[in-house]
C-alpha cells in the first residue's frame, strides 16, 4: 500500500506501520522536498491507530497536508525548504550500486551524484516514482557497501532516477558522512593543484 501525493512543493508519502498485534495500523508518513541542494526527507508518525491500512493511509496523507499547512501543534516542515548553507552539496561520483524493492524488482546501476539526503542513479531497470528501494552503495575505500534501508524514487527520466534516503541506520549515516567528507576533501585537493 502507501499513497504518494505532491502538495505545495512537498511530496507526502504514506507508509503505514503494521503493529505487532497484527490487527492495527499506525499512521506513518515521509515528507520530502527537492530543493537545489538535493532531496530532504523527514519521517513523522502519530500514536493514533487504525483498523485498516487504507484508513491509516488516508489519514496519513491528510496529516501530511495539515503538517505542511502549519496546522500541527509542535511540528513543522517549513525549515526543510530554507536553504541550509551547511547542507552537503551534491557530489559527482561513479559508484556501483545495487537496489531491490519489496516487489522483488532489483537491479544494478551507477550512482552519478550523492548527497547526505539522496542520490541520482543511472540504470537500465525501469522504476516508478514512489517506489521504495533498499540500496547498497559500493564506494571506494569502504570495507563493505553502504546500506540504505529505504530510499524513495522521487523522479525518473529515461534511464536515470533520483532517490531520497528515508531510512538509514545511525551507523550507516556516519559511514555515508565519512564517504562524503572524503569526497569533499578530495575535491579540494584536486582544485588546489590546478593553477
pLDDT in tens, 93-140: 999 999 998 877 789 999 999 988 899 999 999 888 888 999 999 998
Residue 86's pLDDT is 44
pLDDT < 70 regions, the chain: 1, 35-38, 81-88, 187-195
Residue 114's pLDDT is 92
Task: Map out the domains of the chain with their CATH numbers.
Answer: 4-80 (3.30.160.350), 91-193 (2.40.10.220)
Contact (Cβ atoms closer than 8 angstroms) between residue 143 and residue 95: no
Residue 187's pLDDT is 63
Contact (Cβ atoms closer than 8 angstroms) between residue 41 and residue 165: yes
Q: Rounded to whole angstroms, how far apart are CA atoms 70 and 190?
A: 44
pLDDT in tens, 122-131: 999 988 888 8
Place of cell 487504525: 50
SS3 139: coil
b/e map 105-121, b = 16+ CB within 10 Å:
eebebebbbbbbbbbbb
Residue 123's pLDDT is 95
Place of cell 550500486: 97
Amino acid at each position: 500500500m502507501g499513497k504518494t501525493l505532491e502538495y505545495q512543493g512537498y511530496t507526502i508519502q504514506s507508509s503505514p506501520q503494521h503493529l505487532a498485534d497484527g490487527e492495527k495500523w499506525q499512521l506513518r508518513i515521509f515528507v520530502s522536498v527537492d530543493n537545489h541542494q538535493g532531496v530532504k526527507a523527514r519521517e513523522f508518525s502519530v500514536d493514533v491507530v487504525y483498523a485498516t491500512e487504507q484508513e491509516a493511509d488516508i489519514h496519513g496523507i491528510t496529516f501530511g497536508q495539515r503538517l505542511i499547512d502549519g496546522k500541527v501543534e509542535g511540528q513543522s516542515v517549513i525549515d526543510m525548504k530554507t536553504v541550509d548553507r551547511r547542507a552537503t552539496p551534491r557530489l559527482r561520483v561513479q559508484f556501483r550500486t545495487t537496489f531491490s524493492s519489496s516487489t522483488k524488482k532489483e537491479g544494478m546501476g551507477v550512482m552519478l551524484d550523492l548527497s547526505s539526503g539522496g542520490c541520482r542513479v543511472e540504470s537500465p531497470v525501469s522504476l516508478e516514482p514512489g517506489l521504495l528501494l533498499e540500496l547498497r552503495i559500493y564506494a571506494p575505500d569502504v570495507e563493505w557497501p553502504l546500506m540504505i534501508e529505504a530510499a524513495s524514487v522521487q523522479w525518473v527520466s529515461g534511464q536515470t532516477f533520483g532517490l531520497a534516503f528515508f531510512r538509514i541506520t545511525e551507523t550507516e549515516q556516519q559511514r555515508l558522512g565519512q564517504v562524503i567528507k572524503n569526497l569533499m576533501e578530495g575535491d579540494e585537493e584536486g582544485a588546489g593543484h590546478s593553477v
